[in-house]
Amino acid sequence: MPAAASAFDRLECPRCGGRRPATGPPASRCDCGGPLLARYRLDEARASLRLDRLADRPRTSWRYAEVLPGVEPITLGEGGTPLLPAERLGGDLGLPRLHIKDEAINPTGSFKARGMAVAVSVLAAAGVRRVAAPSAGNAGSALAAYGARAGMAVHLFLPAATPEPFVLEARRLGARVTLVPGSIADAGSEMRRVMGPPGDSRRDGWFDVSTLREPFRVEGKKLMAYEIVEQLGGIPDAIVYPAGGGTGLIGMWKAFDEMEELGWIGPARPRLIAVQASGCAPIVRAFEAGEEAAAPWAGPRTIAAGLRVPASLGDFLMLRALRASRGTAVAVEDHEMIAGARALASREGVDACPEGGAALAAIVRLRRAGHIRPDECVVLFNTGTGLKYAGSGLQCESQVEGGL
């Protein structure tokens, strides 16, 4: 069938309402410092982006072209990940409608491929030739892969504690990797020091692809919600999602609003449940305190590299989504997430990362507390493969303090 036309209309700041046109140089943040989000002419997209007309489209992220920017895709086949009924774990937990959205099937083994595919596509179309980002691991690998595909020079700044497989993968994909003592926040500071500020001659067309410092990683991540609705034929009761920088949570909440305007769903929404590590839980702390923003977490510590994020530009958007959806935020211990990852592997055959294990650990807690009911449809996100954590303790049975 002919390629669908994008209905991309403008960029908009959710903090101050400021707008930028869809055309022009690549955008980063709003003048007020807030992130920018893409908006679409959904009344126009509604005619062609229909659930009953998707069967002939390729099962990748780009099947939803109307709600993506209209650029030539830089793609490695991302998206279209399975939604697996978790019958054995569901039986163990008394949740017969438990599902696993397994994002490890994506290129470079994680959900980060979704966001980087769209971001790099937009930047490549704008002529950007050098990109950089701080990363806890998976985002850097994805940027390295899509940057290589686009012929870009990629500079990554990773915390020195990043598991070695992430570092080796990024370097194998052609990225220039700098290891920085401390957290991803320290890596970001070092990136800006080394690369230079906007306008500095050292930039030479360099663009910052950090979380929410450009608008289109969110657009790739939001498609996880589109896929869930397409795969289930409707919305689940709850989505349990490991949240670091928050692009996925923010993107999916945005996607549900878009899908309502497209006529795919009604006004009901799934409860969004954000899962963090007890050693780095700024969103959980802010949610429980009733705050509208999350203070940075001092001294973040967790085995889950993707959850070792002490602060996010999108904190206020995550907190808004959790409250508006009547959801919650849960912090789990490292030994719980390790046990959860092992259970996903041994009970369902999903070689989960610690972040996926954290999502299962949160479900166990919420089920026991009665916050998730036996009759509810629940989607658990495994955001990446466990293979990259070899040697970090994930496979070590001696480090698991008890089971689920």
pLDDT digits (tens, 9 = 90+) for 256-265: 999 999 999 9
Q: What is the mean pLDDT of residues 203-212?
A: 85
% of residues, the chain, pLDDT over 90: 90
Residues 161 and 135: beta-carbon distance below 8 Å: no
What is the rounded CA–CA span in Å between residue 259 and residue 161?
Answer: 40
pLDDT of residue 37: 97
Q: What is the mean pLDDT of residues 170-195?
A: 96
The residue to which tokens 């959806």 are assigned = 325
Residue 201 has, within 13 A of its CA and on its CB side, a CA count of 0
pLDDT of residue 401: 43
pLDDT of residue 3: 63
- The answer, yes or no, to whether residue 203 has pLDDT greater than 90, is no
pLDDT digits (tens, 9 = 90+) for 271-285: 999 999 999 999 999
pLDDT of residue 214: 94
pLDDT interval class at 24 (50, 70, 90): confident
Q: Where are the alpha helices (DSSP H) in 62-137?
A: 87-93, 112-125
- The answer, yes or no, to whether residue 157 has pLDDT greater than 50, is yes
- The answer, yes or no, to whether residue 224 has pLDDT greater than 60, is yes
Q: What is the pTM of this model?
A: 0.94
- Bridge partners, 379 (sequence order): 99, 239
Q: How far is CA 306 from CA 81, 115, 358, in A?
A: 19, 15, 11
Concatenate the DSSP letters of all residues of 205-229 into one string.
TEEE--TTSSSHHHHHHHHHHHHHH
H or E element in which residue 9 lies: strand 8-12
Q: How far is CA 66 from CA 42, 93, 295, in A?
A: 8, 39, 37
Backbone angles phi, psi at 333, to 5 degrees: -80, 155
Q: Which comes out higher in pLDDT, residue 356 or 201?
A: 356
Any residues with CB less than 8 A from the CB of 23 and at least 6 apart, and which? none
What is the Cα 74 distance to its own chain's centre?
18
- The answer, yes or no, to whether residue 397 has pLDDT greater than 50, is no
pLDDT of residue 158: 97
The two three-digit tokens of residue 206, written as one number: 């360099």
- The answer, yes or no, to whether residue 200 has pLDDT greater than 70, is no
The two three-digit tokens of residue 240, written as one number: 């349990």
Of 289, 284, 368, 295, the closest CA to residue 330 belongs to: 284
Domain residue spans in the chain? 83-106+218-399
pLDDT digits (tens, 9 = 90+) for 41-96: 999 999 999 999 999 999 999 999 999 999 999 999 999 999 999 999 999 999 99
The two three-digit tokens of residue 75, written as one number: 């793609």
Residues 138 and 306: beta-carbon distance below 8 Å: yes
What is the rounded CA–CA span in Å between residue 364 and residue 369?
Answer: 9
The residue to which tokens 């030479």 are assigned = 204
Instruction: Specify the CATH number of the domain 83-106+218-399.
Output: 3.40.50.1100
pLDDT of residue 104: 98
pLDDT of residue 25: 83
- The answer, yes or no, to whether residue 320 has pLDDT greater than 80, is yes
Any residues with CB less than 8 A from the CB of 173 and at least 6 apart, and which? 108, 141, 144, 145, 147, 148, 154
Q: Which comes out higher in pLDDT, residue 394 or 160?
A: 160
As a 3-state breakdown, the chain gives helix, strand, coil percent values, each rounded to 5, of: 40, 15, 40
pLDDT of residue 26: 87
What is the rounded CA–CA span in Å between residue 128 and residue 66?
Answer: 24
Cα angle: 132, vertex 136, 141; to 5 degrees: 60
* Residue type, position 38, single letter: A
- The answer, yes or no, to whether residue 368 has pLDDT greater than 50, is yes
pLDDT interval class at 198 (50, 70, 90): low
Task: Please give the mean pLDDT across all residues of the chain.
Answer: 93
Q: What is the mean pLDDT of residues 223-231?
A: 98
pLDDT interval class at 400 (50, 70, 90): very low
